[in-house]
């Protein structure tokens, strides 16, 4: 028994070592044919954050958990708490039940983003509790900001509302509660801008109105942010994600960025899309509150002729000409080999009977856990 414990513990400790080359992608598939595959969700999950954290998401900026769910608090300059999925979906549905953060300049964000910088956004400005901003980008093209809309979302800071992004090869639908507020198709999208490659799920809060941000970002966020009036908190109660494709990994077959080039390893693109909504006529959609060319990318957007500086969240473009061979993009770590994501969003052993009651290696990497494991090894040696 002790030998089995030591074996599992040793394997877990190995997963704690800084093996960035194995667990992080620093590769844009449009610029390289050697990018590693993306971890596929390949199923549906339903995460109840009122029960605490799940290890299928990586945290940055210290999100906190209580009976209301997960909170993303901006209290001072530089705060930008967020969660990022370990997995990707290849078309699918994301449903986030949340309260947006209040406060001038404060932004609550839900972003779907791919390695080649396709992007679908919903963002809530703390200065206005009646609207949500919907947006999209393709292939990192953010030289123009003419794709955004302001759509109705009344009382979004006062009550929990479920927001939905449903994404297929034929349309993207943004919904507030049970009301579809916007539909985009490849035909109505800007040329070569329809998002169509595997995406991660990211959400959190940040200060677009921080005084260190460019004036355009501060104006868009309706800042500046007055931290003395804070803290400002976005609360997420639950998240449901359905991957409309199946398999264990998604690979780019070429550098076209087209969905037909994506290979689903061990599965099929659109292999789980039977529940996708039928096409919706634009006449059925409520009118946008307004359209604006000034809505920036939610995360990671970058014009091809610029470098970028990070002023919190999102990445904000500058006008500096590139001096390197090409940009580098980083994604979250994938699921360890031999482990899978359960229906409640937890990373668990693929064969739970074989390693019954052992936690995920992702959970054994804290300082306290390592100290306890070290003591156990000494006792057993």
Three-class SS state of 218: helix
Contact of 40 with 56, CB cutoff 8 Å: no
Backbone angles phi, psi at 28, to 5 degrees: -95, 115
Buried residues in 174-205 as b, exposed as e (16+ CB within 10 A) = bbbeeebbbbbebeebeeebbbbbbbbbbbbb
Contact of 47 with 54, CB cutoff 8 Å: yes
Contact of 40 with 243, CB cutoff 8 Å: yes
Nearest to 87 by CA among 110, 114, 62, 109: 114
Number of other residues whose CB lies within 10 A of the CB of residue 27: 19
Task: Break the chain down into helix, strand, coil percent, rounded to 5.
Answer: 15, 35, 55
| DSSP codes, 71-113 | EEEE-STT---EEEESSBBSSEEEEEEEE---STTEEEEEEEE
Kindly name the residue from 95, 119, 141, 263 that is annotated as catalytic: 119
Kindly name the residue from 95, 123, 131, 258 that is annotated as catalytic: 123
Backbone angles phi, psi at 199, to 5 degrees: -125, 145
Contact of 221 with 206, CB cutoff 8 Å: no
DSSP 335: P
Q: Is 123 a catalytic residue?
A: yes
Number of other residues whose CB lies within 10 A of the CB of residue 209: 26
Q: How far apart are CA 163 and CA 175, in angstroms?
A: 6
Number of other residues whose CB lies within 10 A of the CB of residue 269: 21
Q: Is 131 a catalytic residue?
A: no
DSSP 40: B
Which residues does 150 contact at the CB level (< 8 Å), separation at least 6? 131, 132, 133, 288, 289, 290, 291, 292
Q: Which residues are catalytic?
A: 119, 123
């Amino acid at each position: 028994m002790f030998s089995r414990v030591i074996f599992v513990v040793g394997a877990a400790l190995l997963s704690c070592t800084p093996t960035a080359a194995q667990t992080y992608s620093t590769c844009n598939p449009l610029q390289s044919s050697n990018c590693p595959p993306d971890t596929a969700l390949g199923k549906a999950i339903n995460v109840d954050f009122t029960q605490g954290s799940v290890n299928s998401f990586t945290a940055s900026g210290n999100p906190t958990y209580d009976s209301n769910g997960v909170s993303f608090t901006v209290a001072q300059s530089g705060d930008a708490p967020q969660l990022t999925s370990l997995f990707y979906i290849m078309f699918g549905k994301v449903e986030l039940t949340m309260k947006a953060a209040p406060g001038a300049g404060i932004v609550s964000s839900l972003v779907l983003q791919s390695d080649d910088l396709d992007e679908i956004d919903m963002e809530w400005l703390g200065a206005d509790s009646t609207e949500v901003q919907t947006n999209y980008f393709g292939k990192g093209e953010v030289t123009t900001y003419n794709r955004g809309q302001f759509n109705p979302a009344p009382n979004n800071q006062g009550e929990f509302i479920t927001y939905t992004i449903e994404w297929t090869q034929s349309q993207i639908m943004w919904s507030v509660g049970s009301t579809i507020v916007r539909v985009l198709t490849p035909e109505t999208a800007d040329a070569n801008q329809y998002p169509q490659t595997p995406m991660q799920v990211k959400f959190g809060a940040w200060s677009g109105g921080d005084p260190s941000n460019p004036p355009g970002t501060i104006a868009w966020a309706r800042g500046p942010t007055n931290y003395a009036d804070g803290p400002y908190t976005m609360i997420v109660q639950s998240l449901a994600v359905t991957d409309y494709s199946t398999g264990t990994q998604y690979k780019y077959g070429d550098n076209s960025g087209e969905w037909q080039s994506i290979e689903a390893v061990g599965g099929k693109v659109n292999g789980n899309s039977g529940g996708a909504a039928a096409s919706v006529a634009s006449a059925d959609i409520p009118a946008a509150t307004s359209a604006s060319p000034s809505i920036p990318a939610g995360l990671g957007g970058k014009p091809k002729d610029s470098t970028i500086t990070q002023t919190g969240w999102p990445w904000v473009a500058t006008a500096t000409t590139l001096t390197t061979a090409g940009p580098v993009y980083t994604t979250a770590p994938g699921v360890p080999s031999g482990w899978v994501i359960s229906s409640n969003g937890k990373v668990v052993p693929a064969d739970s009977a074989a390693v019954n009651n052992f936690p995920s290696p992702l959970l054994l990497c804290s300082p306290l856990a390592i100290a306890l494991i070290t003591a156990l090894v000494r006792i057993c040696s």
